[in-house]
A = this chain, B = another copy of it.
Amino acid sequence: MSQMSKEDALSLPRHRHACHVMLYADTDSKLFGRYQTKHIVLMQMRFDGLLGFPGGLVDLSKETLESGLSRELEEELGVALLVSPEDHVSSSLAPAVPNLITHFYAKKMNESEIKEVEKAAVTVAKDHGLEVLGMVRVPLYFFKRGGGLPAFLSNSFIGSARSQLLSALQSFGLVSQQELAKATQQANQMRHQSQPR
């Protein structure tokens, strides 16, 4: 992933721009009544069978990065979420698509707002069942045999989504650097050991 400043990214000629956002919140809820889940992080199953963050292509001749992202969120989540320039996390060249810059944002909400997003996404969002096959929360904990974050990371992700998730989990202090290293190592093992049947 080749990172650059947002300003440098915007000054590149003949590039397309995509914006995505990680919506997250703190929570006190307990899995099986015992295990603190601590944080909620939203991703989605995309039409193409890959996991990714909500968002999409922005047309800079008509909108800003942030207003374009809000428009995409309205379509995918059914809620006109405002994303501000302060929510910007990183800009980078897409790993596999020529001349595409991906801008990544993170927006902290509270738990009830996250639940409203999940509800709107399956009731009023235009893209539900089509471009978006479902919203999922990211497990940030560890169970036996790689259950939790490692197993989640062994799934298939679009473009930069997996590395954007990992760096955001670290920089916002949602998972420690040591736990992330363990999770990615276990995920790589699971990915290569388990032949899909």
Contact = CB atoms under 8 A, between A and B. Distances in A.
Interface of A: 1, 27, 29-32, 37, 40, 45, 47-51, 95, 115, 118-119, 121-123, 128-131, 133-139, 143, 147-157, 162-163, 184, 187-188, 190-192, 194-197
Contacts of A197: 1, 95, 162-163
Residue from A118, A156, A163 whose CB has the most chain B CB atoms within 10 Å: A156
Contact of A137 (B121, B134, B157): B134
Contact of A31 (B47, B122, B149, B153): B47
Nearest to A144: B48
Contacts of A195: 188, 191
The DSSP consensus for interface residues of chain A is: mixed
A133 B131 contact: no
A133 B121 CA distance: 14
29 contacts: A30-B130, A31-B47, A31-B130, A31-B131, A32-B130, A32-B131, A40-B129, A45-B45, A47-B143, A47-B148, A49-B149, A49-B150, A49-B151, A49-B152, A51-B155, A119-B119, A119-B122, A122-B135, A129-B137, A133-B138, A134-B134, A134-B137, A136-B136, A154-B156, A156-B191, A157-B196, A188-B196, A191-B191, A192-B192
Contact of A156 (B29, B37, B194): B194
A48 B197 CA distance: 19
Nearest to A157: B196
A148 B196 contact: no
